[in-house]
Chain A
Amino acid sequence: MTDLLPPARTLFDKIWDAHVVKTYADGTDLLYIDRHLVQEVSSPQAFAGMAAAGRALHRPDAHIAVADHAVPTKDRHVTLREGLAAAQVARLRENTAIHAIPYIPMNDRRHGIVHVIGPELGFTLPGCTLVCGDSHTSTHGAFGALAFGIGASECECVFSTQVLRQKRQRNMRVTVTGALPDGVSVKDIILSLIARIGVGGGIGFAIEYAGPAIRALSMEARMTLCNMTIEAGARVGLIAPDATTLDWVRGRPLSPLPGDEPAALRDWALLHSDPGAVFDREVEIDAATLAPHVSWGTTPEESLPVTGRVPDPAQVDDPARQARMRRSLDYMGLAPGTPLEEIAIDRVFIGSCTNGRLEDLRRAATILRGRHVANGVSAMAVPGSAQVRIAAEAEGLDRIFTDAGFEWRDAGCSMCVGMNDDRLSEGERCASTSNRNFEGRQGIGGRTHLMSPEMAAAAAIAGRLCDVRGLQ
C-alpha cells in the first residue's frame, strides 16, 4: 500500500518541483523564475549583455526595479550629486524605461531596500520563485518562497528567458524549540547557528526553519532569519507559510486579486514539509538557552554570547583556524581574553535588509526611550524603506531616536555595504545590526560588531558592547 502514496517531500522540494520546466540528462533542472527584483549594482552589465546580444526582455511584468545600494540617506531633497553613484542610478532608470519595468525612484513612498519592499508590495508570495542579483534574496524565503541571490550573468539570463539552469540543493532543517528569553532575539538564533555550523556549513543546502520558536516569530523576525541564511553559506532559507504569513500578505498592492485568492490560499495550504520528509542534515537549537550574541571577528561565524571573552587562538589546535583567528583579531584590534563587554565603540548603525524593519526599530526604541547615546558615540538609524520610515514616524519612533542622539535617515542599504557616503573611517568600531562583519565591509579599516537592534541600542547608550538584559 505504502508504495502507492506519493513520497513525502520537503517544502523546498515541493516549490522546486512546481517550477521545473525541464530536466536535463545530467540531472540539472531548468527552473522557472516567477519574480525578479532588480537593483542598480547587479543590473547594468546584465542589461548591457542583453542589448549587445540583441535580445528582448521575456516578461516585463515579472520584474520590479529600485536603487538601494548607492543612494544617499540624507539631503535627498538635493539632487543626487554628480558622480559614479548618480550615473549608476541613472543607468537603472534608463534601462527600466527601455524595457517597461516598473521603477521606484528614490523619493517615492514605495522606495526602499529591495528585500524590504518586495514583501511590502506583496510582490513576494508563498510558493513563488524569486531571484535578485543580491545574496540577501534569501530573505523572501520567510514567506515560503524559494528565493535566492544570483550573479549579474544570471540576471541577464532571467531577463531574456525567465529561467535558470540549476542543480537542486540538498535539504537541511533547523528546528528551533523553546521560547526566546527577554532581551534575546531572532538575530541571536541566526548568529548562534552560524557560529555553530560555520560560514560554509550551509553550502549546497536549502535550509528550512521549523519548530515552535519559529512559528512564534513575526514576519519581520522570520525575514531576519532567512536573510542571514546566506551567511551560513546556504543560498536558500525558508519557512512554511502559516496564519502569520497570510496576515502579512493579504491586502498588499500586488497580492492575489480577490477572485484568485481562494485558489491561492488552497495552494499555499500545501506548502509545508510532509511528515516523514527526509532532510540530509538536521540541526536543533533550544531558543531558551540563548544569550544575546555579538560578533568579535571578521566573519559572522566568529560570534559569541556577549557575556564571553575574545577567544584565544593559542587555545585552538588547528593551525589554519588559528591563523584565521589571528588575522581577525589583528584586523579588529582586539586582544585575546578581553571581556566582550569592555570593547568600546565609536559608531552605531541600526538598519539594513536584516534589521531595518518596523519591529526592529521598535525594539531598539524600547531601549533608547528616555536615554541618550554615550559621549563620543555617533549613531544612526536608517529605516529599510520609506514605508517603514513613515510608519515609524506615525508612532513617534523617530523622536525617540533623535531625542536619544541618533540621526534619523532616509531608506537605503547605507552603512551595511558602504557604497554611499555612510561609511566607517579607518579603525572606527561600530555596533551594527547589519549582516556582514567582513574586512572593509563598512569602510576601509572599519571594525564591525554584528548584533540585534536592541543590543545595538544598548551599545549606543553604554558606549561599549553591552548586555541589553541589564538595561531592560
Chain B
Amino acid sequence: MIEPFIHLTAIAAPFPEGQIDTDVIFPARFLLLLEKRGLGRHLFHERRAKGGFVLDTPPWDGARILVTGPDFGTGSSREQAVWALADFGIRCVIGTSFGEIFHANCFRSCVLPIVLPPDAHARVMAAAEARQQITVDLPEQRIVLVDGEIGFHIEAHRKRSLLEGLDEVGAILRDDAADIAAFEAAQRAARPWLYLTAQQIAHFDDIKEGSE
C-alpha cells in the first residue's frame, strides 16, 4: 500500500533548470527493468554520473522535496520518472509548471506536485538554496517557510487520495461499476462499431506462436 501524504518537513533540493524532461529524470535504457522498486539508483543517472549533482551534495542528499524549474517532467509518459523520485525519497516537487502526464503520474505514487506562481516559487527556491527546512501541510494546503507561508491549490479528489493513500481503481470498481455498465450498454447500441466483433478479432487468428 502506498504511504499517504499528510505533512512533510524536510530539506528541499534546489534544481532550477528549466525544461527537465523525463528522459533526463530517468534515461530510457533503464526502462527495460520490469519492476517499480529500486529505480532510485537510476534517477537523473547521467547528471549524477558527472558528479556534483544537487541530490548527491549534502545536505540535499537527504532532501525529500525537489524545487524545480519550469516545465519539469515534460516529454515521455514514463511513470518510472516518478517511481525513481519516490524510491529516492522525494515526496514533493514544487515548480511553476509540470508536464501533464508526469503531473498525473505523481499522484499514483503519492508524490505531491505543487504548482506555484513565479513569485511564490522564487521564495521556496530561495529557502531551498538556504538549506532551510520546509514544511508542506497538505490538509491546510500551505507551504511553511522560515519567513512565512504560501498557499497552494490542489483538486479535491487528488487531495483526498493523497491524504488517504486511496486506491483509485478499487474506488471506481466499488462505486462506479453500474455507471460504467450502463454507459457501455448505451454506447454499444448507439455506436456498435466501437466494439470489435469475434469476426474482426479473427483477423489475428493466423498469428503463429513463436514468430519472434
A32 near B77 with CB under 8 A, answer: no
Q: Is A235 at the interface (CB under 8 A from chain B)?
A: yes
Instruction: For B208, list chain A residues within 8 Å (CB).
Output: 105, 108
Total A-B contacts with CB atoms under 8 angstroms apart: 220
**What's the tally of chain A residues with a CB closer than 8 Å to chain B?**
98
- Contact among A41, A160, A167 with B169 in the assembled complex (CB-CB below 8 Å): A160
Name the distance in Å between B94's Cβ and chain A's nearest Cβ: 16
Instruction: For A200, list chain B residues within 8 Å (CB).
Output: 19, 70-71, 74, 97
Q: Is A103 at the interface (CB under 8 A from chain B)?
A: yes
**CB nearest to A418 among chain B residues:** B28
> Which of A80, A103, A203 has most chain B Cβ within 10 Å?
A203
Q: How far is the CA of A102 from the CA of B156 in the complex (A)?
A: 38
The range of chain B's interface size is: 35 or more
Q: How far is the CA of A121 from the CA of B155 in the complex (A)?
A: 38
Instruction: For B108, list chain A residues within 8 Å (CB).
Output: 151, 153-154
Q: Is B69 at the interface (CB under 8 A from chain A)?
A: yes
A45-B79, A436-B75, A439-B24 known; A69 and B31 CB under 8 Å?
A: yes
Identify the stretch in B135-143, B145-153, B197-205 within 8 Å (CB) of chain A at 4 or more residues. B197-205
A102-B204, A107-B212 known; A41 and B78 CB under 8 Å?
A: yes
- Contacts A163-B176, A438-B75, A441-B28 known; 7 new A-B pairs at CB < 8 A: A61-B195, A154-B105, A161-B173, A199-B71, A253-B203, A267-B191, A439-B24
Query: Interface of A with B (CB < 8 Å)?
Result: 21-22, 24-26, 28, 30, 32, 34-35, 41-42, 44-45, 48, 53, 55, 61-62, 67, 69-71, 76, 79-80, 84-85, 87-89, 91, 93, 102-108, 110, 121, 125, 127-128, 133-135, 149-154, 156-157, 160-163, 165, 167, 198-200, 203-204, 230-231, 233-235, 253-257, 260-261, 263-264, 267, 299, 301, 320-321, 323-324, 327, 417-419, 436, 438-441, 444
Query: Interface of B with A (CB < 8 Å)?
Result: 16-19, 21, 23-24, 27-29, 31-36, 46, 69-71, 74-79, 82, 97-101, 104-105, 108-109, 155-157, 167-170, 172-173, 176, 179-180, 183-184, 187, 191-197, 199-201, 203-204, 207-208, 210-212
Chain A to chain B contacts (Cβ below 8 Å), 23 pairs: A30-B180, A35-B194, A41-B31, A42-B77, A80-B212, A108-B207, A135-B101, A150-B101, A151-B79, A151-B101, A157-B168, A161-B173, A204-B100, A230-B75, A234-B100, A257-B193, A257-B200, A299-B19, A324-B17, A327-B17, A418-B29, A439-B46, A440-B27
